Structure 1
């Protein structure tokens, strides 16, 4: 198949132009993401206001409808559409895309779009108030599950396009290492595909027949296990695009180079290994799983600390080397040389800092004894908002400041840059207040997935009330940040001055060690991943099928606990 962009077989590192047809596809994904940000953010604001006890939802809207929309739209729709669009743009920029691949990617987009519309419609009609985890025996309308299936299959189609793009590039460049950014996209897409097989099986084999009435009961423990087989690597599917920006784009933005291509690739390979066979650490309180297997998966969970520390070392090495090249003196003089007035750097850097307490919270969540204290409390919600809603989203915003104008043929103006800095500060302040209050309230026993109305008048609610008000204040500040970010998106898309904005891809340090050829051995990486998954899941899943209760009948009322 001929490439739409002519590749020079003598070059390995290339920055290819993005055509208008490509731009339309990539912007379609990103536009859906920002529309989702506005809708999901409004739902989040309503939740915090309701929990404050000072606001009642109008028009008979149910709290769990709002909660489900917030989780599905932000946790699944926004992230998936933005990541898939970013993946496509990264692959198009580094390895090229053919017209046929472009057409297939459009099929994936429309499948994801209509699947989202189907699921959203059932939620808005009150037929799917099951939260984004859609735990059985809560049962939604069949259209909800069919819509989710379409979103997953559509994302697979785009993933196959990404893999084919790299395969075509490899054929044109025999014996050459793949571009780092393309390698990273391939790893993240591979992780998404393997992980989403679990939720696809649950939806297609369990939930859809059950919701259609073909099955009277459902194996709850099996469905939850299949979800969390998917649910934890989902977190890394969100996170790894941020890592791509940190490794590849941030060094270019600050005027530096990638510290080590090999180190970056190895960290992504390790995330692939240790992100999937760890779902049991979300099920530590469930009695149907042998404690030995919980221990094994908790151990594997802790292994992700290694690539995280590798990433921190690589990034701060880049910062220090770049700063010293610019004349920095002393132990921390390089810190002053970083471009603090450039929102393309500032927003992702704040996200990096937020990942420190976020990572500590993750260790607590995955530790058996400490998990017993915070399990099913709003501490866990606060943790999600530190990792996904702060680390990931601020990095996505930082990406948007250069990606959107690059795709639209416009410029990031000084005025928009200043607005972006204000937006990043607003987001940080709002999230610090809201997430901090969630963590403290969680330690006091405040439940997640609840409006607290069931506990009205109790002594505990009196103890929580100050932190509930703080959540409402933080949520209000965050919504202001959302409005500002959507305004910036519209400005960059339609009204910024015409021009060219750089797609920042850094080069590797000249004296870095050569990247070993075995990084391109995809059979080895996939094989090791499959072995780890089979070792962690085969016996416990067989036990669940053989020994868990035959099934549970559905609840006919939408409660989220």
Structure 2
């Protein structure tokens, strides 16, 4: 494919978008907003139930809604959007092609299938274990399987981002250090890899427990490792947000950092 048909220059910002990267940015960002919207709608049910004058939902339904709300808002929305940010901060800001777009689409598919599978498990009513899903409370196997698929997809996407940095460095599409916005995205990616690995370490044995292949997961070990996943996922959000703030200031106002 020729350079002219692969890249598009935004007439307003002057930024150069590679076709595969742009499609993946849109897919991940739109999916993120859908889960944000879904989580926000579920939040209405949570608020109206906690409001004593209304107390809308029954206890079983309340915890079902609260579980879906927590996962959609604190995991799926954040990480889908972060992947879109990673692709923007690598391919677009460094003006290079996206490394392995097929793997990037595979990552998106795994994340989407995992997120939908997890939500279905919650809405079926047997997985109202809250976002933390502490053992010995057990959800349906598909609840954990969905999270594992999502984590694998997100991990692949992180490595696609890192591979894109290698492409940019090899093709010499920038000089000196990477832009500050890209540096922030690299920070978010490093945190994301740790976060996803922590989730996999504890969710895989929990899935095996749910299907009866192992007898026990230690509750204290579960909580310790799960919160390495839970807290770190919020730090992904912080690093990505800081990157976006710098990007918005630069694109909208032409601002430049005093030091890279």
Structure 1 length-normalised TM: 0.42
Give distance in 1, aligned partners of 2:164 and 2:206. 34
Name whichever of 182-191 and 118-127 sits farther off: 182-191
Return the offset for 1:120.
Answer: 0.5
Q: Are the counterparts in 2 of residues 5 and 97 from structure 1 also a CA contact under 8 Å?
A: no
Match of 2:56 in 1: 56
Q: Are the counterparts in 1 of residues 6 and 19 from structure 2 also a CA contact under 8 Å?
A: no
Give distance in 2, aligned partners of 1:164 and 1:189. 12
Cα gap change, 1:100 to 1:171, in 2 (>3 Å): closer
Is 1:197 aligned to 2:204, yes or no? no
| 1:306-350 CA distance string (max 9 Å, x none) | xxxxxxxxxxxxxxxxxxxxxxxxxxxxxxxxxxxxxxxxxxxxx
Is 1:90 aligned to 2:83, yes or no? no
Match of 1:215 in 2: 214
Cα gap change, 1:130 to 1:82, in 2 (>3 Å): same
Match of 2:233 in 1: 234
| 1:524-552 CA distance string (max 9 Å, x none) | xxxxxxxxxxxxxxxxxxxxxxxxxxxxx
| Residue correspondence of structure 1 range 287-306 to structure 2 within 5 A | none
Show structure 1 runs of 5+ residues with no match: 7-14, 262-561
Match of 1:133 in 2: 132
Is 1:26 aligned to 2:25, yes or no? yes
Show structure 2 runs of 5+ residues with no match: 8-13
Cα gap change, 1:18 to 1:101, in 2 (>3 Å): same
Return the offset for 1:187.
Answer: 1.9
Is 1:254 aligned to 2:253, yes or no? yes
Q: Are the counterparts in 1 of residues 36 and 77 from structure 2 also a CA contact under 8 Å?
A: yes
Give distance in 2, aligned partners of 1:247 and 1:181. 6
Aligned residues: 250
- Look up the SS of the partner of 1:130 in the other structure: coil
Give distance in 2, aligned partners of 1:227 and 1:99. 32
Match of 2:146 in 1: 147
Match of 2:106 in 1: 107
Q: Are the counterparts in 1 of residues 182 and 243 from structure 2 also a CA contact under 8 Å?
A: no
Larger radius of gyration: 1
Q: Are the counterparts in 2 of residues 96 and 165 from structure 1 also a CA contact under 8 Å?
A: no
Cα gap change, 1:87 to 1:100, in 2 (>3 Å): closer
Cα gap change, 1:189 to 1:212, in 2 (>3 Å): same
Q: Are the counterparts in 2 of residues 43 and 67 from structure 1 also a CA contact under 8 Å?
A: yes
Give distance in 1, aligned partners of 2:176 and 2:258. 20
Return the offset for 1:17.
Answer: 1.6
Cα gap change, 1:175 to 1:31, in 2 (>3 Å): closer
- Look up the SS of the partner of 2:187 in the other structure: helix
| Residue correspondence of structure 1 range 463-542 to structure 2 within 5 A | none
Match of 1:176 in 2: 176
| 1:58-78 CA distance string (max 9 Å, x none) | 7x9611000001001111111
Cα gap change, 1:122 to 1:215, in 2 (>3 Å): same
Return the offset for 1:100.
Answer: 5.7
Give distance in 2, aligned partners of 1:251 and 1:19. 20
Cα gap change, 1:99 to 1:224, in 2 (>3 Å): closer
- Look up the SS of the partner of 1:28 in the other structure: helix
Give distance in 1, aligned partners of 2:82 and 2:20. 19
Give distance in 2, aligned partners of 1:198 and 1:112. 17
